[in-house]
């Protein structure tokens, strides 16, 4: 298949903001795709080569791309760089510069999708000394054969910033429509995606074996399952009502979520956003292997940094230092010991457990693990009584936890991969006159600082994620809570996400000094949620021309590097928090 066919579809997708139109354009592209390359086309459309959990990224540095563009256009690096500063998008620069070359010199051969995929794969896989030259050669060879429009997308892909603005759910709908003729089959494809975290695999299965192929997909050790998530409430009576009067109440540990996959051949740990973090936690692999009874299993738990002498829990910031490390891992293991608290079991010795009730999974988990100083099961009580919940909450907080997670004990309390639902409800310690919980918001814009904040940002424009239309919608301008060090680091932290104009994924009525690609997620607390004429989250849902805003937002100091922008708090959650506030006022 010609690469130009994909690029034509991309141009049309980029030109529309309507999700259904995007979906139909994609479905049309998938229908035209030969089945043997459907995975490649799916990954490329996501701006990737492989599923995220494999950790293979293209992400070439801007400098290298400027050099490649200079080579293929015959312009100096300075000219390319100046054009970049003006346009803010190297993809556009490539299209313009190469557009000026004559067609003959430019298109020495017609690029196919497989050519593009294979060359990017070589770029991504080349490592070690001399790899920069190799990458540069491969990229230049692609550029020599590319038309100006193809060059635009090749360059964006090389930067790891394709930014078509197509959400995973839209891709699933397009696949359902293209290969089963019915968009409503998306739910079955979504289940397959949730247990495999691999859209390319789902695409291949549905394209080659239809809906039956999808239904036969099973959980597999080594392939992460998208995590089940909790709703939130701040009143135990209400929580018990939601859970039919009875709950498994557990400590909510404040650490890193881990999905641990072990078999005789595989030892892997995946983070909440399904990155492979095995290398940073060799100690955790050792503890799990030592204490597990089945030969192969998939566990879930929260890993917390602990004080080696007192065994007290240490703040989240401690374990997050270990997560980011690529070097000196041995030292870090000694300096920051960790303990894993297991709370779920998704697979054990050939048996998939996700469709079992929570109490059955917990029973198998209890039998599967021999606890020791470094690994144990999450603290749990089963109760129907709110006073007991409050007592347990006090115990959890004095033991250094954030609060509790209350889980359904119903027979249908299956593991809902990839879903946030009322089967798990988090209950955090509430602060008077403050929001009962923090929210995780995405940085979409910045405002230049003055005075003491000169050279940095005075405030950031923050957004929640609207899952329905895939947009990031603003909820506040936040300038509080940043330490001097945060302020010093913000410009460099945000530099690579800077855009020349507002991203098509961002809905904002406010005009920022600088726009960012939605990427960085911050934890924010605030006083209350109010109606707002200037913010776009939940706009027109409660009142015409009004959205919702967080009043007096403060950065808590926690960068949520474990969350992708799509994992940030959703506009639906903000609406839920607003409605909860109203209920409390009326009581
Ligand atoms: P938060 O920002 O509050 O950590 P989150 O958005 O990461 O939440 P939620 O679904 O809202 O995820 O809350 C569940 C999280 O709580 C899990 O992702 C997990 O990391 C953590 N956790 C701690 N203890 C438990 C437990 N006993 N059972 C389930 N999850 C737990």
pLDDT per residue as tens digits for the range 170-195: 999 999 999 999 999 999 999 999 99
Mean pLDDT of 555-581: 91
Residue 583 has pLDDT above 70, yes or no: no
Show the tokens assigned to 38.
Answer: 């459907």
Mean pLDDT of 165-169: 86
Enumerate the active-site residues: 252
Q: Sign of the C-alpha dihedral, residues 203, 230, 474, 321? A: negative
Residue 204: strand, helix, or coil: helix
Mean pLDDT of 125-130: 83
Whole-number Å distance, alpha carbon 230 to ligand 1 midpoint, is 7
Specify the ligand 1 atom closest to the Cα of 257. 20
Q: Tell me which fold the domain 439-586 belongs to.
A: OB fold (Dihydrolipoamide Acetyltransferase, E2P) (2.40.50)
Measured at the CA of 263, the angle between CA 260 and CA 264, to 5 degrees, comes to 140
Specify the ligand 1 atom closest to the Cα of 567. 6
pLDDT at 431: 40
What stretch(es) of the chain map to CATH 2.40.50.140? 439-586
Q: Which of 231, 270, 226 is nearest to 54 (CA)?
A: 270
Residue 113 has pLDDT above 50, yes or no: yes
Q: Sign of the C-alpha dihedral, residues 97, 101, 105, 109? A: positive
DSSP state of 199: H
Whole-number Å distance, alpha carbon 243 to ligand 1 midpoint, is 18
Share of the chain above pLDDT 90, in %: 62
Closest C-alpha residue for ligand 1 atom 11? 230
Q: Sign of the C-alpha dihedral, residues 542, 546, 552, 555? A: positive
Answer whether 0.85 is exceeded by the pTM: no
Residue 587 has pLDDT above 50, yes or no: no
Whole-number Å distance, alpha carbon 256 to ligand 1 midpoint, is 9
What stretch(es) of the chain map to CATH 3.30.470.30? 229-430
Residue 450 has pLDDT above 50, yes or no: yes
Q: Which CATH architecture has domain 229-430?
A: 2-Layer Sandwich (3.30)
pLDDT category at 409 given cuts 50, 70, 90 is: very high
Are 294 and 263 spatial neighbours (Cβ–Cβ below 8 Å)? no
Q: Which residues line ligand 1 (CB under 6 A)?
A: 229-230, 250-253, 257, 272, 302, 343, 378, 405, 426, 440
From 273, 302, 342, 430, give the residue whose CB has the most ligand 1 atoms within 8 Å, as the site to mutate: 302
pLDDT at 141: 86
pLDDT in tens, 511-540: 999 999 999 999 999 888 888 889 999 999
pLDDT in tens, 192-206: 999 999 999 999 999
Give the best-scoring range by mean pLDDT among 327-331, 351-355, 485-489.
351-355
Are 170 and 19 spatial neighbours (Cβ–Cβ below 8 Å)? yes
Whole-number Å distance, alpha carbon 13 to ligand 1 midpoint, is 35
pLDDT category at 365 given cuts 50, 70, 90 is: very high
Specify the ligand 1 atom closest to the Cα of 229. 10
């Amino acid at each position: 298949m010609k690469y130009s066919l994909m690029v034509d579809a991309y141009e049309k997708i980029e030109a529309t903001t309507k999700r259904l139109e995007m979906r139909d354009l994609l479905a049309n592209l998938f229908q035209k795709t030969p089945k043997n390359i459907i995975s490649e086309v799916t990954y490329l459309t996501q701006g990737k080569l492989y599923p995220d959990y494999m950790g293979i990224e293209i992400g070439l540095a801007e400098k290298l791309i400027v050099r490649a563009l200079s080579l293929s256009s015959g312009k100096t690096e300075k000219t390319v760089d100046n054009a970049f500063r003006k346009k803010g998008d190297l993809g556009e620069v490539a299209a313009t510069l190469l557009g000026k070359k004559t067609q003959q010199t430019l298109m020495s051969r017609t690029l196919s999708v497989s050519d593009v995929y294979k060359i990017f794969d070589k770029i991504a896989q080349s490592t070690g000394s001399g790899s920069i030259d190799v990458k540069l050669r491969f990229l230049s060879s692609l550029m020599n054969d590319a038309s100006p429009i193809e060059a635009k997308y090749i360059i964006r892909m090389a930067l790891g910033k394709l930014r078509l603005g197509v959400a995973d759910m839209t891709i699933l709908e397009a696949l359902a429509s293209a290969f089963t003729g019915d968009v409503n089959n998306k739910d079955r494809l979504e289940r397959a995606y949730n247990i495999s975290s691999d859209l390319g695999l789902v695409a291949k299965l549905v394209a080659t074996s239809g809906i039956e192929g999808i239904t036969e997909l099973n959980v597999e050790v080594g392939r992460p399952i998208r995590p089940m998530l909790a709703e939130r409430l701040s009143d135990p009576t209400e929580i018990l009502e939601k859970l039919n009067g009875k709950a498994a109440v557990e400590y909510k540990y404040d650490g890193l979520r881990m999905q641990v996959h072990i078999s005789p051949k595989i030892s892997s740990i995946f983070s909440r956003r399904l990155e492979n973090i095995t290398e940073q936690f060799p100690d955790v692999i050792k503890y799990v292997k030592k204490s597990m009874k089945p030969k192969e299993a998939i566990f879930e738990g929260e890993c917390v940094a602990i004080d080696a002498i007192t065994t007290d829990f240490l703040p989240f910031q401690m374990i997050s230092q270990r997560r980011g490390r690529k070097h000196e891992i041995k030292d870090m293991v000694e300096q920051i010991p960790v303990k894993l608290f297991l709370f779920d079991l998704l697979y054990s010795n050939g048996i998939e457990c996700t469709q079992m009730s929570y109490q059955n999974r917990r029973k198998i988990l209890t039998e599967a693990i021999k606890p020791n100083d470094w690994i144990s099961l999450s603290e749990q009580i089963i109760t129907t009584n709110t006073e007991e919940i409050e007592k347990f909450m006090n115990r959890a907080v004095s033991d250094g936890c954030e609060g509790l997670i209350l889980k359904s004990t119903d027979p249908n309390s299956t593991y809902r991969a990839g879903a946030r639902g009322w089967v798990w409800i988090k209950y955090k310690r509430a602060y008077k006159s403050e929001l009962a919980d923090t929210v995780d918001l995405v940085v979409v814009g910045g405002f230049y600082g003055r005075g003491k904040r000169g050279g940095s940002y005075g405030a950031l424009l923050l957004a929640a994620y609207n899952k329905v239309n895939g947009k990031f919608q603003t909820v506040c301008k936040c300038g509080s809570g940043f330490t001097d060090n945060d302020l010093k680091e913000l410009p460099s932290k945000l530099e690579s996400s800077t855009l020349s104009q507002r991203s098509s994924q961002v809905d904002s009525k406010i005009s920022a000094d600088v726009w960012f690609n939605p990427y960085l997620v911050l934890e924010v607390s605030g006083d209350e949620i109010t109606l707002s004429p200037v913010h776009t989250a939940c706009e027109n849902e409660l009142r015409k021309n009004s959205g919702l805003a967080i009043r007096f937002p403060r950065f808590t100091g926690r960068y949520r590097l474990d969350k992708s922008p799509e994992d940030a708090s959703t506009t639906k959650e903000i609406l839920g928090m607003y409605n909860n506030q109203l209920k409390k006022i009326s009581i």
